[in-house]
Structure 1
Amino acid sequence: MPLGLSLAPKVLASKSLTSWVTPIAHWYANLAGYRKYGLKYDDLIIEEYEDVQRAIGRLTPRERYDRAFRMKRASHASVLHSVLPKEQWTEPEKDVRFLTPHVQEVEKEDKERAMWDTVFVSRK
């Protein structure tokens, strides 16, 4: 399957398929363990990519602060070789994508810029 294609829209379009896949998705997210450290899924995105850095720059000051706090708290828990207390774990309802829309927007702008940079203009 080429990069960028996802089965998610097809799964979400089918109510029966969604009801079958959702418990597996929740089980897998809990098994990954990042919620036990108070992180959200988008906190795991690799920052070294230029597009991701530009997307982080588009976050609101509050979102940037919250993200930095979650990262520092998770690092501290990792150094102590323990997970956070259960009341500090990220709840599945609060584990929303906050960075992915910005990354997708940056990628879309890059594609548009590349298209305009390589446009061929001919005289008639």
Structure 2
Amino acid sequence: MLFGPLSTSLAPQVKSSRTLLKWITPIANWYANASGYRKLGFKYDDLLCEENPEVQRALSRLTPREAYDRAYRLKRASQASVVHAPLPKEQWTQPSEDIRYLKPHVLEVMKEEAERKMWDTVAVERK
């Protein structure tokens, strides 16, 4: 079971209710902006813990362009951290650009691992 950004989410239930979506969306936007990761040029999936084996395998499945973009964002944010200043406003990640590019790969790895465990524990019976 994973905790954090890849754990169970209430987003589908919130999105299905128009009233709840109207109330939660401003709070969610405020929280994303207050967390500050967009000011450093990160996308949400850049914050996933790389020590997790599923995330490691998912990172190896990124296209060369996605891997390059991720490395560039990490280096750029590292430089901004060294100078103790956020990036210029035009380099901040916009909410429309902040897509979950790594989560589908991680979920696929988790499904494969569950299937592997299932097949590894199959009891073979002789007829």
Pair 1:17-2:20 in alignment: yes
Task: Write out per-residue CA displacement over residues 30-53 of structure 1, whole angstroms, 9 at most, x where no aligned residue.
Answer: 000000000000000011121111
Displaced runs of 4 or more, over 2 A? 2-6
1:34-45 to 2 correspondences below 5 Å: 34-45=37-48
How big is each residue's C-alpha offset from its partner over 1:67-119, in whole Å with a ceiling of 9 and x where there is no partner?
Answer: 00000000000000000000000000100000011001101100000000001
**Which residue of structure 1 lines up, in the alignment, with residue 60 of structure 2?**
57
Corresponding residue number in structure 2 for 1:29: 32
- Residues matched between the structures, number: 123
Distance, in Å, in 1 between the alignment partners of 2:46 and 2:8 is 22
TM-score, L = length of structure 2: 0.92
Q: Normalised by the size of structure 1, how large is the TM-score?
A: 0.94
**Bigger mean CA deviation after superposition, 11-20 or 36-45:** 11-20
What is the alpha-carbon root mean square deviation over aligned residues? 1.3
Whether 2:25 is the aligned partner of 1:47: answer no
Secondary structure of 1:83 counterpart: coil
